[in-house]
Amino acid sequence: MTTSAVRCRVAPSPSGFLHIGTAKTALYNWLFARSNGGTFILRLEDTDAERTEEQYVQAMCEGFKWLGIEWDEGPEFGDEPEKGAFGPYRQSQRLQLYSEEAARLVAEGKAYRCYCTKEELDAQREQAALEKRPPRYSGKCRNLTPEEIAAKGDTPYAIRFRVPEGETVIDDIIQGPVRIQNKEYDDFIIVKSNGDAIFHLAVVVDDGLMKITHVIRGDDHLTNAGRHVMLFNALGYPLPKFAHHPLIHDEQGRKYSKRLHGANVLDWRKDGYLPETMINYISLLGWTSEEEGREFYTLDELKQLFTLKRLTKSPARFDRKKLDWLNGQHIRMLSPDALCDRVLPILREQGFPVDERSRDWLVEMAAICQEKIPTLNHIIPYTDFFFAAPTAYDEKGDRKFFRQDTSLQALEAALECMRQADEWTVTALKESYEAAAEQKELKIGALVNGTRLALTGKTVGPGLYELVKLLGREESVQRMEAALNYIKTSGEGTA
């Protein structure tokens, strides 16, 4: 097989949001396709009418789009048409194909009609429970003669796969060879009595007709793989290579529940994480590069380095601290212009009048926060003071920087530096502050921290000289005067 022939897919059921585990499966398939010059396919398993809603389809596709996982073949989404030569790419539009392939299996004697009623099957299960053995189909309809079938007339029937004798081997890239004795399976249903194809048949028909070469999915599907290999062989399709990767566990070591915040990939977008971060982090939840200890990767690097052989068997535990660290690193990698574009929608949503400012000013504002913020959402507390003067001061900061013996002296010295600055630049302000501290025998921290509290109401934020420069002389002086007045009128500051 040449690398250009690689075709892999993700086939989620759109019955909810894009789960982080589904995103991981999609990412591994996508990276594998990209690293081999292959094709990545998005296919929607939407035959469960009770659970599938179009809003979930949209939410799932939106999650892929946000992550930047673009499919080469797939269904219509928004204003993007269906693309690819092996469609349709929604199972609900492929029902006729399943019926035809099921009929072919019956005609070839590899499947058969089962007329057993629900009551009969329930009775078999109850009997198995009483005898403390696994429930298995009795095989009642396995060898019906043509005459017996004809006598059934229009009686509803399901279609069961005739499990062959012998052994089924799943040669898994991650798990290694998995051997299953076929006698462990009973003849399983592939088409229900209402005509709907069961998952096992539908997924194999889709993979076979779409010429999928690699099935990369969660190891919770390993129990299905035996049935799927048997169906591939029975249908005469080329057998794809399998790679069952471990599931994601939460920070307590349990399977990442859909109820947890962050299970929905778009939760991270709402929380201010970059898609580049999520791609980087999710890739590490089961994959390692040959460069030991390395954790930061760009998308282009992942495309070049990703291989299935570096996937691990062990489940990965979600680590929020590592995710936060990675997000900070990816924020630092952005250009100030790009960071500005990412944070402006967040600031607009908060009602800040960003469109009244020049683009250069906004880019500079983003730039002075770039080394500080761990998420895009942190831009709010790091910049809100640019748009409105503080109406209160941090309580601990007030005691520490406004209520000491030298507080008034330090603030007055800082104010004088602002009034007398020949140039309103970071360098000039820094030199002026350092000279004032030396001349008045004050600690530079007293000037810097007192000024920050006076201008922002906070004790943390962007670099002081950078924010003072951006705030402007007139506004900075006014806020310093207001802070001095506050200290004096509250009666606790001393000179």
Other CB atoms within 10 A of residue 293 CB: 6
The residue behind tokens 């596709």 is: 61
Token couple for 161 = 């796969």
Residue 249: beta bridge partners?
255, 317
The confidence band for 289, taking pLDDT boundaries of 50, 70 and 90, is confident
Give the 3-state secondary structure of residue 50: coil
Q: State the Cα–Cα distance between residues 59 and 247, nearest whole angstrom.
A: 22
Whole-number CA gyration radius for the chain: 32
Check: CB of residue 249 under 8 Å from CB of residue 21. no
Q: Where are the alpha helices (DSSP H) in 216-310?
A: 222-235, 265-270, 275-283, 299-305
CA distances (Å), 74 to each of 53, 67, 81, 86, 207, in order?
A: 18, 16, 9, 9, 13
Mean per-residue pLDDT for 41-57? Answer: 82
Tokens of 402: 């406004």
Beta strands in 27-164 (DSSP E): 39-42, 111-114, 158-161
Could you report the per-residue pLDDT of 131-150, keeping only the tens digit for each? 888 888 988 999 999 999 99
- DSSP letters, 204-225, are HHHHHHTT--EEEEEGGGHHHH
Give the residue numbers annotated as catalytic, written as ranges: 258
For residue 28, what are its two tokens? 């591994």
Of 129-143, 301-315, 399-413, 456-470, minimum mean pLDDT range: 129-143
Domains of the chain: 3-91+248-317 (3.40.50.620), 94-245 (3.40.50.620), 334-386 (1.10.8), 395-490 (1.10.10.350)
* Residue tagged 């062990």 (tokens): 314
d(CA 57, CA 242): 26
pLDDT in tens, 228-283: 999 999 999 999 999 999 999 989 888 888 889 999 999 999 999 999 999 999 99
